[in-house]
A and B are shown apart, each in its own frame.
Chain A
Amino acid sequence: MSLLMAATIGVLVAVAVLQLLQRNAVRMVIGLYLFWNAANLLIIAVSRTRGVRAPFVGGDAAPLADPLVQALVLTAIVITFGFTAFLVTLTFWLVARGNSIDVTDFTEGRA
């Protein structure tokens, strides 16, 4: 399971880096989104999730899953969504303002 998790994270990061290195702004946003999900999986992977019980108040004392990690990843997922939504809107704004989505066409800072 942990090998599968590690492999998934690795593949996600590899694809994310590949997308981030593209000139297309939309692909860069996709790359960041994949990278974020890899980071969220990493947070899950650092805790034990199999063979443990859900941590309920008043439950039995059997090995419990780490509740902190679940709180962390929930927060991180929300941030991922919010940030990605902002980036998608920003890309749309680029198009609406008549800018190219090819980042090598960006002009500011060239002079």
Chain B
Amino acid sequence: MTGQHLLILPIVLPLAGAIPAALLAARAGAWVGLVTTVLTLAASAAVLAASVGGPQVYWVGGWAPPHGIALVADRFSAALALTTAAVAAASALHTLVSGEAVAHRRLYHPLFLLLLTALGGVFLTGDLFNLYVFMEIVIISSFALVALADRPVSAEVTFKYAVLSALGSLLLLVSVALVYAGVGTLNMADIAQRVRNAAAPPFWPIVAALMLAAFLLKGAIFPFHFWQPDAHAAAPSPVSAMLSGIMVKIGFYGIVRMETLIFPDAPVLLVLAPLGGASAVFGGLAALANPNLKRLLAYSTIANMGFILLALGWGGPAGMAAAMVNAVNHALLKASLFLSGGYVTERLGEQALPRLGGLAHLTPGGTLAFGLGALALAGLPPLSGFLSKLTLFQAGLAAGDPALLAVAVGASGLGIAYSLRAFVLAYWGETPPWAVERWARRAAHRGTLAAPLLLVFLVVALGIWPGPFMGLAAAAAAELGQPDIYITAVLEGGR
């Protein structure tokens, strides 16, 4: 594979894999899914390695800038694409080995690969309209995946999720049209250059507000969160891992591109830090009060997106780095929690925390995976969740914002409380007799816990050996702090 076309691989590989996955039977489709996601993971790792030497740019079809469509991988987008591929590979492995009902649906595997294609496209495209199109593919494939769980509530949950996602993408489409009306280009680097060299059009703040609303809706930030817990709790576990781990990060990615390229210094971006604080507190309280294991995890995602937004709002190199560390960590550990927790709730057919209990006697491996994941979510050292909290507080100190820093500390306290509550209620104590009976009713598959344990291993490894990861986050933040690097690479590199 030549280095020249490397950048398109994380998009093309899963798309190519989706075709045999659609044609083959479900079991073979699951194998195709696993092989394709692992190949995509390798390609994404190669893209990240290449992006360390400066942003990589690929002009699709060889059309030169600024008319062609560019794929751009700076450290930031390459790291997100790699995280996406890692979570997708773990989810595909889980689908193959855990014997969850949805794995027997033939449609599931091509849809999952389409979701991965579109996510790679969202993170790697340098064109705003392309971002919109890939986002549509992400949401349409994710509706179908949520619906495939085929639970009694699936129809209404999917309907709610579909209508609200449609509204979000409509807001994005309108704002993209207005961006084009304002500056006459859709290439993000070109937009950045034109906004900087000439006065922005008078309606620019309104466009910024529309686009921010779209990304806040995608990111499930309070008060735009209301669609999220239903969809994330009702989806099949490997899909929940993708939804909660990766898809909400599209909002984060979009806001970073707004902040650094399209709308630098837009007044509406001042709401980021307060909304982040509100989201962290709301998500934490809702997770603490919720009686359902998967909904608790979903609300915790709202809280963690709040932390990411807080860091973005604080800004600066420390804030950007903290946002990135939080985003990657949360993706890995929330995916592992959804896989290990989802496996248990799926096998028992029960998600209510008051009815669960004593699962440690049934599944020691699952207890290890969920327990370490919960401790990481709480932010205890030496797990990688601690790095999230450490960088977040450092960013707050650097920004000199004692009020919101206090909110962040309080919300982290809520995080410890709800993580331990979920773990203690579900896994400690006596096993109820109905659970023992239902557990024995279904034969265990070999290696059922491989996927969550692999992700937990990553979480532990990043916590014990944080050097390269923190270095990457700091370098990516420095790169984002100087948009000129991105702009020059895109506009000059192709000539």
Interface of A toward B, CB cutoff 8 Å: 20, 25, 28-29, 32, 35-36, 39, 42-43, 46, 68-69, 72, 75-76, 79, 82-83, 86-87, 90-91, 93-94, 97, 99, 103, 106-109, 111
Q: Which of B153-172 contact A (CB under 8 A)?
A: 153, 155-160, 162-163, 166-167, 170
Q: In the assembled complex, which residues on chain A have CB atoms less than 8 Å from the CB atom of B174?
A: 39, 42
Taking a contact as CB atoms under 8 Å apart, the answer to whether B162 and A86 are in contact is yes
- The answer for the CA separation of A28 and B177 in the assembled complex, in Å, is 24
- The answer for the CA separation of A101 and B186 in the assembled complex, in Å, is 39
Q: In the assembled complex, which residues on chain B have CB atoms less than 8 Å from the CB atom of A25?
A: 159
| Seed contacts A42-B177, A83-B140, A94-B155; 13 additional CB < 8 Å A-B pairs | A29-B163, A32-B170, A39-B170, A39-B177, A42-B178, A43-B173, A43-B177, A43-B180, A46-B178, A86-B140, A97-B152, A103-B160, A109-B230
13 contacts between A and B (CB under 8 A): A25-B159, A29-B163, A32-B166, A43-B173, A43-B180, A72-B129, A83-B140, A86-B140, A86-B162, A87-B159, A90-B143, A90-B159, A109-B230
Q: A32 with B167: in contact, given A46-B180, A86-B162 (CB under 8 Å)? A: yes
Q: A93 with B177: in contact, given A83-B136, A109-B229, A111-B291 (CB under 8 Å)? A: no
Shortest CB–CB separation between residue A103 and chain B, in angstroms? 8
Q: In the assembled complex, which residues on chain B have CB atoms less than 8 Å from the CB atom of A93?
A: 147, 155
- The answer for the CA separation of A75 and B167 in the assembled complex, in Å, is 18
Mask, B134-146, CB within 8 Å of A = 1, is 0010001001100
Taking a contact as CB atoms under 8 Å apart, the answer to whether B159 and A94 are in contact is yes
Taking a contact as CB atoms under 8 Å apart, the answer to whether B177 and A87 are in contact is no
Bin chain B's interface residue count: 20 to 34
Taking a contact as CB atoms under 8 Å apart, the answer to whether B156 and A94 are in contact is yes
Total contacts A-B at CB 8 Å: 81
B436 at the interface (CB under 8 A from A): no
Interface of B toward A, CB cutoff 8 Å: 129, 133, 136, 140, 143-144, 147, 152-153, 155-160, 162-163, 166-167, 170, 173-174, 177-178, 180-181, 186, 229-230, 234, 291-292
Q: Top 6 nearest A-B pairs by Cβ distance?
A: A46-B181, A108-B153, A106-B156, A43-B177, A94-B155, A39-B173
Of A42, A86, A94, the contact of B143 (CB 8 Å cutoff) = A86
Q: In the assembled complex, which residues on chain B have CB atoms less than 8 Å from the CB atom of A107?
A: 153, 156
- The answer for the CA separation of A29 and B147 in the assembled complex, in Å, is 17
**Chain B residue at smallest Cβ distance from A31:** B163
Q: Is the interface of B mostly helix, strand, loop or mixed?
A: helix
Q: A75 with B155: in contact, given A36-B170, A46-B177, A87-B162 (CB under 8 Å)? A: no
Most buried by B among A35, A97, A108: A108
Q: A35 with B170: in contact, given A42-B177, A46-B178, A109-B229 (CB under 8 Å)? A: yes
Shortest CB–CB separation between residue B350 and chain A, in angstroms? 14
Of A82, A99, A111, the contact of B155 (CB 8 Å cutoff) = A99
- The answer for the CA separation of A57 and B431 in the assembled complex, in Å, is 74
- The answer for the CA separation of A25 and B323 in the assembled complex, in Å, is 38
**Chain B residue at smallest Cβ distance from A106:** B156
- The answer for the CA separation of A32 and B166 in the assembled complex, in Å, is 7
Q: In the assembled complex, which residues on chain A have CB atoms less than 8 Å from the CB atom of B170?
A: 32, 35-36, 39
Shortest CB–CB separation between residue B185 and chain A, in angstroms? 9
- The answer for the CA separation of A69 and B180 in the assembled complex, in Å, is 9
Taking a contact as CB atoms under 8 Å apart, the answer to whether B136 and A28 are in contact is no
Q: In the assembled complex, which residues on chain B have CB atoms less than 8 Å from the CB atom of A82?
A: 140
**Chain B residue at smallest Cβ distance from A93:** B155
- The answer for the CA separation of A40 and B73 in the assembled complex, in Å, is 30
Q: In the assembled complex, which residues on chain A have CB atoms less than 8 Å from the CB atom of B291?
A: 111
Q: In the assembled complex, which residues on chain B have CB atoms less than 8 Å from the CB atom of A39?
A: 170, 173-174, 177
- The answer for the CA separation of A37 and B436 in the assembled complex, in Å, is 55
Q: In the assembled complex, which residues on chain B have CB atoms less than 8 Å from the CB atom of A86?
A: 140, 143-144, 162
- The answer for the CA separation of A109 and B298 in the assembled complex, in Å, is 12
- The answer for the CA separation of A106 and B229 in the assembled complex, in Å, is 14
Q: In the assembled complex, which residues on chain B have CB atoms less than 8 Å from the CB atom of A103?
A: 159-160
- The answer for the CA separation of A72 and B180 in the assembled complex, in Å, is 11
Shortest CB–CB separation between residue A49 and chain B, in angstroms? 13
Q: In the assembled complex, which residues on chain B have CB atoms less than 8 Å from the CB atom of A83?
A: 136, 140, 166
Shortest CB–CB separation between residue B464 and chain A, in angstroms? 39
- The answer for the CA separation of A69 and B177 in the assembled complex, in Å, is 9
**Chain A residue at smallest Cβ distance from B181:** A46
Q: In the assembled complex, which residues on chain B have CB atoms less than 8 Å from the CB atom of A68?
A: 180, 186
- The answer for the CA separation of A111 and B230 in the assembled complex, in Å, is 11
- The answer for the CA separation of A36 and B170 in the assembled complex, in Å, is 7
Taking a contact as CB atoms under 8 Å apart, the answer to whether A75 and B156 are in contact is no
Q: A87 with B166: in contact, given A82-B140, A108-B153 (CB under 8 Å)? A: yes
